[in-house]
């Protein structure tokens, strides 16, 4: 079931996303949070830091599991997702660093790293709330459009659409990694609740395709239609066709 929340501005977007996460933690301080990177959740993380500073939320008993990581970037590379999470959220709240999990994109044996992440997710029990952004090609995590999708964490070749979209964060397209490690569609859909976030006119068409079109591996986000509890947080521009 999809519950669509359409907000009027950036502030409402961030407030709504942050409140959902904060209220979960107020009810269940030991919650398993599934986290995303990219530009969409940055303001939500900022608002969460404010709520933490105001004493309204604590992460000290929470666990976090990130969706994905580039392959081949050292952890301290400015664009690694581990560094992104530290800088945008973890360094500013009381989460225990050992409770924050990001798939390893540097392991010598990447297949093993993917298996290890799967085991970690299985041992964790269910993710209580999984945050998602939406790629212009319909990807969630780094599950790119393909003939077949994979359930568990795995290694992917990044789509050229994705590399081009993310080139804005690097000096040039050549520096954008070609591969990534990502939770699979199966892992994502196991979450108890999903928060899909999309902002801006450039996401309107793909969002409508994902939520109202057919279920297809050509648009991985379309499988969110099968989930029992998805909150879709959009601004007016992204939600225009819903
Ligand atoms: C990030 C991720 C990606 C992004 C998507 C949207 O961890 O898994 O699926 O959510 O590419 O990115 P932005 O938010 O930058 O438009």
Domain ranges of the chain: 2-131+140-199+209-235
Average pLDDT value over all residues in the chain: 97
Which residues sit opposite 143 in a β-bridge?
140
d(CA 98, CA 230): 28
> For 47-76, what is each residue's pLDDT tens digit?
999 999 999 999 999 999 999 999 999 888
* Residue 203: predicted pLDDT: 98
Closest CA to 136 of 195, 40, 203, 225: 203
Mutate to test the pocket of ligand 1, among 10, 37, 165 (most ligand atoms within 8 A of CB): 37
Q: Is 185 in the pocket of ligand 1 (CB under 6 A)?
A: no
To the nearest 10°, the Cα dihedral for 16, 21, 27, 32?
Answer: 160
Q: Write the pLDDT tens digit of every residue in 175-217.
A: 999 999 999 999 999 999 999 999 999 999 999 999 999 999 9
Cα of 132 from ligand 1 centre, angstroms = 7
Res 1: pLDDT: 87
Q: Are 30 and 63 in contact (CB under 8 A)?
A: yes
- For the residues 115-136, what does the mean pLDDT come to? 98
Check: pTM over 0.75? Answer yes or no. yes
- Tokens read off for 121: 């997710």
Helix (H) or strand (E) holding 88: helix 81-88
Report, at the CATH architecture level, how domain 2-131+140-199+209-235 is classified.
Answer: 3-Layer(aba) Sandwich (3.40)
Q: For ligand 1, is residue 139 a contact (CB within 6 Å)?
A: yes
Question: What is the percentage of the chain residues whose pLDDT exceeds 70?
Answer: 100
> Which candidate in 77, 101, 139, 154 is catalytic?
139
Question: What's the 184 CA to ligand 1 centre distance in angstroms?
Answer: 14
Whether residue 61 lies in the annotated active site = no
d(CA 68, CA 33): 14
């Amino acid at each position: 079931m999809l519950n669509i929340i359409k907000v009027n501005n950036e502030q409402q977007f961030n407030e709504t996303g942050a409140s959902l996460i904060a209220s979960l933690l107020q009810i269940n301080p030991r919650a398993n949070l599934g986290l995303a990177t990219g530009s969409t959740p940055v303001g939500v993380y900022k608002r969460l830091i404010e709520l933490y500073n105001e004493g309204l939320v604590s992460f000290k008993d929470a666990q976090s599991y990130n969706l994905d990581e580039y392959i081949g970037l050292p952890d301290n590379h400015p664009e690694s997702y581990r560094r992104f999470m530290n800088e945008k959220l973890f360094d500013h709240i009381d989460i225990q660093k050992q409770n924050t999990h990001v798939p390893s994109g540097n392991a010598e044996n990447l297949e093993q790293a993917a298996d290890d992440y799967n085991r970690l997710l299985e041992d964790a029990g269910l993710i209580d709330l999984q945050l998602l952004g939406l790629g212009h090609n319909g990807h969630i995590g780094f599950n790119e459009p393909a003939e077949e999708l994979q359930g568990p964490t795995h290694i992917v070749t990044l789509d050229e659409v994705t590399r081009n979209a993310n080139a804005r964060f690097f000096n040039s397209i050549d520096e954008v990694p070609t591969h990534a490690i990502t939770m699979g569609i199966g892992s994502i859909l196991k979450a108890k609740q999903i928060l899909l976030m999309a902002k801006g006119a450039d996401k309107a068409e793909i969002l409508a395709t994902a939520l109202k079109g057919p279920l297809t591996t050509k648009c991985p986000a379309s499988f969110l239609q099968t989930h029992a509890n998805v909150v879709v947080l959009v601004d007016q521009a992204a939600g225009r066709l819903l």
